[in-house]
Amino acid sequence: MSRPVLVVDFGAQYAQLIARRVREAHVYSEIVPAAITAAEVVARDPVALVLSGGPSSVYDAAGAPRLDPAIYELDLPILGICYGAQLLALQLGGTVERTGAGEYGRTAVSRTPAPTSLLAARPELATCWMSHGDAITAPPPGFTVTATSPGAPVAALEDAVRRRYGVQFHPEVAHTEGGQALIARFLELAGAETTWTNASIVDEQVAAVRAAVGDQRALCALSGGVDSAVAAALVLKAIGDRLTCVFVDTGLMRAGEGAQIEATFADTFGAELIHVRAADRFLAALAGVTDPEAKRKIIGELFIREFEAVARDLAAHDARPAFLVQGTLYPDVIESGGGHAATIKSHHNVGGLPADLDFSLVEPLRRLFKDEVRAVGAQLGLPEALVWRQPFPGPGLAVRVIGEVTPERVAIVRAADAVIADEIATAGLARELWQSFAVLPALRTVGVMGDGRTYDYPIVIRAVTSEDAMTADWARLPYDLVERISSRLIREVPGVNRVVLDVTSKPPGTIEWE
Catalytic residues: 82, 170, 172
- The answer to whether the CB of 282 falls within 8 A of the CB of 337 is no
CA 254/CA 484 separation, integer angstroms: 21
CA 361/CA 377 separation, integer angstroms: 20
CA 163/CA 398 separation, integer angstroms: 51
CA 376/CA 449 separation, integer angstroms: 49
CA 126/CA 146 separation, integer angstroms: 13
Cβ partners under 8 Å of residue 234, min gap 6: 202, 205, 206, 209, 364, 365, 376, 380
DSSP annotation of 125 reads: E
- Residue 200: exposed, middle, or buried by beta-carbon count in 10 A (0-12, 13-18, 19+)? middle
Q: Helices then strands (H, E): number in the chain? A: 14, 19
Nearest CA to 205 out of 320, 97, 327 is that of 327
CA 256/CA 183 separation, integer angstroms: 43
What's phi and psi for 128, nearest 5 deg?
A: -130, 160
Q: Calculate helix-pair angle for 479-492, 407-426, nearest 10 degrees.
A: 140
User: Residue 222: beta bridge partners?
Assistant: 247
At 358, is the secondary structure helix, strand, or coil?
coil
CA-based angle 97:98:102, to the nearest 5? 125
Nearest CA to 79 out of 174, 180, 194, 167 is that of 167
Buried/exposed code over 22-55 (b: 16+ C-beta within 10 A; e: otherwise): bbbbbbbbbbbebebebeebeeeebbbbbbbbbe
User: Residue 9: beta bridge partners?
Assistant: 33
- The answer to whether the CB of 434 falls within 8 A of the CB of 392 is no
Locate the DSSP E strands across 233-313: 243-249, 272-277
At 151, is the secondary structure helix, strand, or coil?
coil
Nearest CA to 6 out of 37, 61, 50, 38 is that of 50
- The answer to whether the CB of 261 falls within 8 A of the CB of 233 is no
- The answer to whether the CB of 343 falls within 8 A of the CB of 337 is yes
